[in-house]
Structure 1
Amino acid sequence: MRMPSPTKLKSGIYAYRVRVPADVAEAFGKAIIKKSLNTRDPVEAKRLFNLMHGENEAIWAQLRKGLVQLSQRQLVALSGDYYRSWMEQFHENAGDTAAYQNLTEMTEGLAGNDERLTVWYGRATDALLQSKGLRLSADQRTALIREMHKADVQARLQLQKNAEGDYRQDPDADRFPKWTTTEANVGKKLDQANMQKTLSDLFAAWEATHRANGKSVRTVKDSRHKVDSFRSFLGHELAEKITKQDVDRWCEYLRDELGIAPRTISTKYLSAIKATYRHAIDKGRIEHDPTKGYSFSFEKKARLRPKGFTDHEVREILQATLDPARLPKGTHAHNRRVVRWLPWICAYTGARAGEVAQLRASDLRMEKGVLYLHITPEAGSVKSRNFRQVPLHPHLLEQGLPDIFEKRVGMYVFADLHENKRIGSRSAGLYGKVAEWIRNEVGITDPEVQPNHAWRHRFATVARAADIPPEYSDVLKGHEEGRAAESYGETSVAVLFREICKIPQIDLSADYGN
């Protein structure tokens, strides 16, 4: 059998490129590992390769042992690794105290709320477990997430002291036992009943495929919340023991006890469980699907108003963005910047709020004299997973939007983050600020309208009134219907600019009434 060895790239730099053994690839989360060794020296490359491969083989061997049960001491030891990683990364240059204060405000109230803790620490927890080659039950994973939160709070308080110039050692740093490579052997292997396929196993497999296909991270977080809700309701997670009656009881509980709308239950909660089981069936992991043929009925909600903003609401929002006194106070400059500009960009482009929030300075480009926004999955989540080019409306040019991009060279426009970093969930926080501002400051509280998505509905309405053909309106909005003809040819920036200029300039002086 040929032993793996370093791969020499075209640049002359060697890389670690190894296929993960098939029996552990799913648990490991990827089929191939690719990582630069950052050297052109073949001898050094071989040494680094052997070190890295030895570590991975140890992880794979541990994964083959299946689920393990860790003690409280071991869970705290693992969280200590998370604490130390933060301290090592930021101890020398702790940064701005305001950043830590902001994080503290954002994470207040997390303790005791396992669902919110999972949203914050789930991904980091899974990465830590993967690095150790460990697989835990859902309950143990939740217990570790709680310890991760405690470690995070401790690290943050210490780093805030460092940022203020106090570099005395953390007196509580030694509360974490040291995790060693032999620790995993102390964990007791679960009995055969618990080795059956669990909901957590099935969801992890679905997530691995979802991520491998480059799909939205937000979908993973949202679906995990739904699966965790189902598991908590059942009191167990043995996938083969769950019945159709269990699914129905859960849906009725969500409706009758938690007051969740039937439509939301069907399209969000039930859909997450169906997708998890369907993936497991397709992969041959289980034979039983309790969701097959099951549906949770709901009546279509009566519409009492347009889905898009009315002309009066548009005027109220956009006028408020131009009044510095009404922009968010006592907050970071990027929050004021996103509130000032996101509504205007959405109004004139039909782009999703998340696509606007994650724009980078380099995403403002020019083609044949036309300035346009380059909306791309490289910057963050794009629903269609395809790039598109959206020309700037003359009114945005008149207001000086290009100047904002120019001032943010090398950075995200609405986040204090360098372009070479992934914005991730920060974009949701940004457009969430805008929605909150529209509700609280502008006073548009009608629950029938979504403060950010309403711009897309309004754009479609305005485009229709301006006689913009549907095929151009769909291109501008990034709305793909799946028609075969749409996959042939491209629509030039010049053509799209011609169409977007048909949209009339928004007149804030007009009195549209209520």
Structure 2
Amino acid sequence: MADFIFRKKGESTWYVRLAVPADVQKSIGKKVFVQSLKTASRTEAVHASHAHLALWRNLIQGARKAKEAPEGWQENIVAGMTEIETLIQGRKRAIIGESVPPLAVSDAEVQSFKQANPDLMALLEQLEDVRPESDVAGDLHIQDALHVGFKIILERAFSAKHSLTPDQQQELISLIDAPASYKKKSPLTKARLDSFRAYRLGQNIAQKTIDQQESKLRKLSDYLASNQLPLDTDTIAAWLNSLELASKTLTQYLLAGSVFWKWANRYDERWRTEYKDRVNPFENHDLPRVRGKAKADAKRKDFSLESLATLHEAATKGGQNVLADLILLGVYTGARIEELCKLRKENVISIEDVQCFDIADSKTVAGIRFVPIHPALKPVVKRLLKDSVDGFLVHSKSRNKYGNRSDPLSKAFGRLKSAHGFGKQHVFHSIRGTVVTQLLRANVPGTLIAEIVGHETGTVTFDVYSQGSSPLQKLKAISKLPRLKPLVKTSTTTPLA
């Protein structure tokens, strides 16, 4: 900081100085900022200089920002060049005696273009003042010369008004020379999506959710660019139709777009300028309705107890002991697969003399709960506690980038159930449905079932005010889950019953 302060010859007072960068000297109106700090103390001068330097740097930044090429400047250049080329061609056709039809544009479109491109209109008006002479060849030559002259003037005028990067300068020259070669870019640029991602990571949103939604937005960006389409409701409708996905999945695409739209209109200044008066194109879409039979066919189905016994036995005989144990844990807890895979030795606790699983991490608040250990699981849990090598009850070799330990086991279960004739409607999560059904048929109250599997009841009385059932109540309820039949051995010789 001391490098910015100095004394004038023969004076004891300190001054602060900051050179104005050449690219903004004209807009700021000076080459250097200088201000007296009104003190002879160097220490006081250093402290006093901070405010002046901060103000000047903000002025420089503001001047540079003002000179940045506006969002979509390429389209304005292309529009201007297209207009001038149409005008020149029309004049040349008139010179040789051809009939020139009027442009197929409305007065409103003309006025909109004039308002959006005042600089280009000034150049076009200069060109309008040049009228052809009587010699046809000479007149055609004049029009060609005007065309070339306009290109030169436009390039110089735009470059003088805006601070262009070397890449932008080259793009400007290319667009002026060949406007038809321009490919409209998607407004969902990489830089914009990167900013959106950084913001959401700072909001502690799950990385998997961020990645999935970003993937959908990049697909949209590619669609806009490849088809040269604007971001509006009609385009989004056409895009959704091209995806050929189920309504539920299309809703997720719309959600990703709507979340981005709201963020951009709030935090992206350039986006806000461009889209501030436009409706959210991701809202109010009529998605295909799924009727009764199709909805039923797509719904996940529970496993029967006999099917689960078969899958467990197959896993055991196939040497997939970890998977066999995981199936049993699911059958006797109704827990989600990732909840089970995250159980550590310290999550086996005793509450009011009832041994329980402490599920301390779940996808929902209601999922954070304790689940009494079913009598059939006690010998299995005892063995898992004894054999654990990494602190987890369920061993996993997962390398999932989101930290999900269940990933390889979920895939292994998928292969196992497919080998036994089960399709997409049956997944590990289907075991939760089996557990809920069996508890319901054993006359366990619905609120107690919800507590065991980690669901909200949807009522203020139970979700807000109630402290929940006692460990003993939960144990009595979960003990009503029937044991798998026929009697199946665990991954060692310990029987289930």
TM-score w.r.t. the length of structure 2 is: 0.53
Q: Secondary structure at the match of 1:389?
A: strand
Structure 1 residue aligned with 2:310, among 295, 307, 316? 316
Is the Cα–Cα contact under 8 Å of residues 208 and 402 in structure 2 kept in the other structure?
Answer: no
1:291 is the counterpart of 2:270: no
Match in the other structure for 1:498: 476
Paired letter, 2:418: R
Aligned equivalent of 1:397: 378
Shift of 1:306: 6.9
Distance 1:196 1:412, change over 3 A: same
Indicate whether 1:446 and 2:423 are aligned: yes
* Corresponding residue SS for 1:445: coil
Asked if residue 303 in structure 1 is aligned to residue 296 in structure 2, the reply is yes
Cα gap change, 1:403 to 1:311, in 2 (>3 Å): closer
Q: Give me the CA root mean square deviation.
A: 3.9
Distance 1:208 1:479 in 2: 32
In structure 2, distance between residues paired with 1:382 and 1:306: 19
- Partner residue of 1:487 out of 427, 447, 464: 464
- Closer, same or farther in 2 for the Cα pair 1:450/1:224, shift >3 Å? farther
C-alpha separation in 2, matches of 1:358 and 1:423: 13
Distance 1:196 1:453, change over 3 A: closer
1:247 Cα deviation from its structure 2 partner: 1.0
1:431 and 2:410 equivalent? yes
Are positions 1:327 and 2:306 aligned together?
Answer: no
Q: Give how far 1:428 is off.
A: 2.4
d(CA) in 1 for partners of 2:235, 2:451: 43
In structure 1, distance between residues paired with 2:268 and 2:314: 56
1:59-95 superposed Cα distances (whole Å, 9 cap, x missing partner) = xx9xx999xxxxxxxxxxxxxxxxxxxxxxxxxxxxx
- How many residue pairs match? The answer is 305
Q: Which amino acid aligns with 2:217?
A: V
Tell me if the contact between 1:373 and 1:390 (Cα under 8 Å) persists in the aligned partners: yes
In 2, Cα distance between equivalents of 1:365 and 1:410:
18
The alpha-carbon deviation at position 314 of structure 1 amounts to 1.9
- Corresponding residue for residue 198 of structure 1: 188
Matched AA of 2:310: E
CA deviation map 1:93-116 (0-9, x unaligned): xxxxxxxxxxxxxxxxxxxxxxxx
Specify the SS of the correspondent of 1:233. Answer: helix
Indicate how the Cα distance of structure 1 residues 423 and 272 shifts in structure 2: closer, same or farther if over 3 A, else same: closer
> If you compute each CA radius of gyration, which structure gives the higher value, 1 or 2?
2
The answer to whether residue 221 in structure 2 is matched with residue 231 in structure 1 is yes
The residue type equivalent to 2:212 in the other structure is D
8 Å Cα contact 1:273-1:291 kept in structure 2: yes
Question: Equivalent residue for 1:29?
Answer: none
- In the TM superposition, residue 382 of structure 1 has moved relative to its aligned partner by 2.4
One-letter amino acid of the counterpart of residue 303, structure 1: A
Q: C-alpha displacement at 1:472, in angstroms?
A: 1.2
Report the secondary structure of 1:226's partner residue. helix
Identical-pair percentage:
18
Residues 503/242 of structure 1: CA separation in 2 closer, same or farther (3 Å cut): same
Q: Within the alignment, does 1:245 sit opposite 2:234 as a pair?
A: yes
Output the CA distance in 2 between the equivalents of 1:201 and 1:343: 45
Bigger Cα displacement from structure 2, 431-440 vs 200-209 = 200-209
Which digits, 9 at most, give the CA deviation of each residue in 1:439-494, with x for residues without a partner?
Answer: 23xx13323x2321111111111111011111111111111254322122422323
Sort the Cα spacing of 1:396 and 1:502 in 2 relative to 1 into closer, same or farther, 3 A: same
Task: Quote the residue 2:86 is aligned against.
Answer: none
SS of aligned partner of 1:349: coil
Q: Is residue 188–residue 221 contact of structure 2 (8 Å, CA) maintained in 1?
A: no
